[in-house]
Structure 1
Amino acid sequence: MNPETFFTHLWEDYIRMAPRAAKIKQLFEEQGETVLNDHVAFRTFGLDPIGLKTLEKPILALGYERFAPYRFEAKKLNAMGYLHPKPEYPRIFLSELEVEALSPKAQSIIQALVGQIDATVVENDDILWAGPLWSPVAYTDYEQLLEESEYAAWVAALGLHANHFTIAVNHLEKTPSLEAVLDFVESAGYAINESGGRVKGSPDVLLEQGSTLADRMEVNFADGIKRSIPTCYYEFARRYKGPDGALYNGFVAASADKIFESTNTKQ
């Protein structure tokens, strides 16, 4: 699979989970803007056979290279950023949950889900948008995970998907500032993630980020319960040049920590 095909399939899966993203993209295009993707992000459990080192294989096969590791202590996450030698391809951010840092009960729930995975499935080209690789989680287990980790509950219920795409604000002409972008999106009726402030980061750290709150989708749980839960969101990123004159390509952990909360159930 080449990067173009990969991102086409990924976008199609993403807007099925977050149909508002397609509408927001269209809003900008109707303003005459060319909407480019700054980065995409994925979530997973840090357990075989779907840990970071396994799921990064199809990313590396696309020609991407590891760029920088990240750590989120409070959320119990490890992550890696990836860059492609061809700058027209978006950055990729892959994170995994440290399952062993959760309670024994939560670990047991997650291990029971991951234990159902056919290890050969992870070799499929579509693994990063394959959804749940296990039978539906019980709603009581989902609630248990939710108490400890919104991230864990999200992956348990939804499986593997891009949890967000990101509009590259640097390439917008009519709304070149991130605040203007957020105002434009909000004025169209889409709620903005206010956790940590509307704009996360600053020119001082060479990156500003903001996002919508996640779309919601009805999910069938194992115990016959149906619930509408947060799915995916749309992010907006404005990058700045560093002392070397090059555009910053990384991520800022403190900002990303708050962006993760775009999928929180209590938003």
Structure 2
Amino acid sequence: MDSVDLPHTSSFKGGSEIFLRNVFENIVKTYLRKNPTAKTIWELVQSLDNEKISYDHFTFRTFKVDGYGIDSLSSFFMDYGYKTGGGLDFPNKKIRVIWLSPPDVHVPNDGHGLGNGPLPRVVMAEVLVDELSLESQGVIRKYLKPEGGKQAVLSSTLGSLIWEKPTWTDFKILAKESEIAAWTLIHGYTMNHLAFAVHRFKHRFSDIKCIKQYFEGKGFELNTDGGILKVSQDGLLLQVSTISEKLPVKFADGVTEIIPASYIEFTQRQILPQFKDLPHDEIKEFHRREAFKVNSANNIMESTRFTTKF
């Protein structure tokens, strides 16, 4: 079983926490604006049984090249008290993932959302560019100019590419070898997905199985890789994700094609066995299953699988 660490002391001073929460709010607004189906799901979660929105993690994709990798995002969040929680390697996909745990902040008993609720974990993937073919490396380096990664967080909040929009020809070259790299080239630092914290919900959505049944009944397409309900070996981490909607994108050479956008995930973290007898109102996030698992994460990444074969 994974070790359990007590939450670290908040490093916030003055208005820093307010600023960080505003950054997150704008990242979410941009994500929902660019992904209509995700917005519909988000609004359903918020409206049903007066649910209060709480997030488990936000996920981003980057390129490990010229300062555009994980460090381009992590440095900002670590300035505001985030700390490295762990990492995962996906050699078959040629990507590496790091996740950051949020600082411990005061959360009112009714605290939810980004306004006054717990802060989300931040998950960052980077495509290991040097492990791709020389042709794919050439495509990526053609667009990513040195020093541009410094604007990563600004790019996430605006939903705008730092680099020039790629051509369909270049996109196809990259997609043939790595769909994740191609997705990142066209979407940049736009949030790949957000995950709701099911264990913080109330009423009908407090059980991920109910969520699965509800959205299946509503006709939403759910990710079936590894089963719709993905369960860690210890049974304490449960995840469900939707399939990314496909949206038209106009490429730099004038070609318009339908490609995957972003998706939504639901994550339920069960209480660790050693804390199962604690009163419910005393349960904190660190009493629950922490971290992520390679197999489940690998399957969830397939939510952005392309339907077109290049």
TM-score of the superposition, structure 2-length normalised? 0.80
Choose 1 or 2 for highest CA Rg: 2
After superposition, residues 29-68 of structure 1 pair within 5 angstroms as: 29-32=46-49, 33-68=51-86
Residue 252 of structure 1 is matched in structure 2 by: 293
Instruction: State the Cα distance separating 1:85 from its structure 2 match.
Output: 2.0
Asked if structure 2 preserves the Cα contact closer than 8 Å seen for 1:17 and 1:217, the reply is no
Q: Distance in 1 between matches of 2:152 and 2:59?
A: 19
Residue 196 of structure 2 is matched in structure 1 by: 167
Worse-superposed segment, 31-40 or 201-210: 201-210
**Structure 2 counterpart SS, 1:53:** helix
Asked if structure 2 preserves the Cα contact closer than 8 Å seen for 1:18 and 1:216, the reply is no
Worse-superposed segment, 225-234 or 127-136: 127-136
Instruction: State the Cα distance separating 1:234 from its structure 2 match.
Output: 0.5
Report the AA paired with residue 290 of structure 2.
N
Residue 122 of structure 1 is matched in structure 2 by: 150
Report the AA paired with residue 226 of structure 2.
G
Q: Distance in 1 between matches of 2:28 and 2:83?
A: 21
Residue 99 of structure 2 is matched in structure 1 by: 81
Instruction: State the Cα distance separating 1:241 from its structure 2 match.
Output: 2.4
Residue 13 of structure 2 is matched in structure 1 by: none
2:266 aligned with 1:236, yes or no? yes
Q: Distance in 2 between matches of 1:187 and 1:66?
A: 38
Q: Distance in 1 between matches of 2:274 and 2:83?
A: 21
Q: Distance in 2 between matches of 1:184 and 1:120?
A: 42
Aligned-residue Cα RMSD (Å) equals 1.9
Asked if structure 1 preserves the Cα contact closer than 8 Å seen for 2:73 and 2:152, the reply is no
Q: 1:120 to 1:147 in 2, by over 3 A?
A: closer
Residue 70 of structure 1 is matched in structure 2 by: 88
Q: Distance in 1 between matches of 2:134 and 2:188?
A: 21
Asked if structure 2 preserves the Cα contact closer than 8 Å seen for 1:3 and 1:89, the reply is no
Q: Distance in 2 between matches of 1:121 and 1:257?
A: 26
**Structure 1 counterpart SS, 2:205:** coil
Q: Distance in 2 between matches of 1:151 and 1:125?
A: 20
2:209 aligned with 1:179, yes or no? yes
Residue of structure 2 aligned with 1:195, choices 225, 228, 233: 225
Q: Percent identity?
A: 29
Q: Distance in 2 between matches of 1:169 and 1:260?
A: 19
Residue 175 of structure 2 is matched in structure 1 by: 146
Q: Distance in 1 between matches of 2:292 and 2:100?
A: 11
TM-score of the superposition, structure 1-length normalised? 0.92
Report the AA paired with residue 40 of structure 2.
K
**Structure 1 counterpart SS, 2:126:** strand
Deviations 1:77-108 (A, max 9, x none): 11111111226111110110101111111111
Residue 3 of structure 1 is matched in structure 2 by: 20
**Structure 1 counterpart SS, 2:77:** helix
Residue 23 of structure 1 is matched in structure 2 by: 40
| Alignment gaps of 5+ in structure 1 | none
Residue 103 of structure 1 is matched in structure 2 by: 133
Residue-pair matches, total: 265
Q: Distance in 1 between matches of 2:151 and 2:142?
A: 21
Instruction: State the Cα distance separating 1:60 from its structure 2 match.
Output: 1.1
Q: 1:123 to 1:222 in 2, by over 3 A?
A: closer
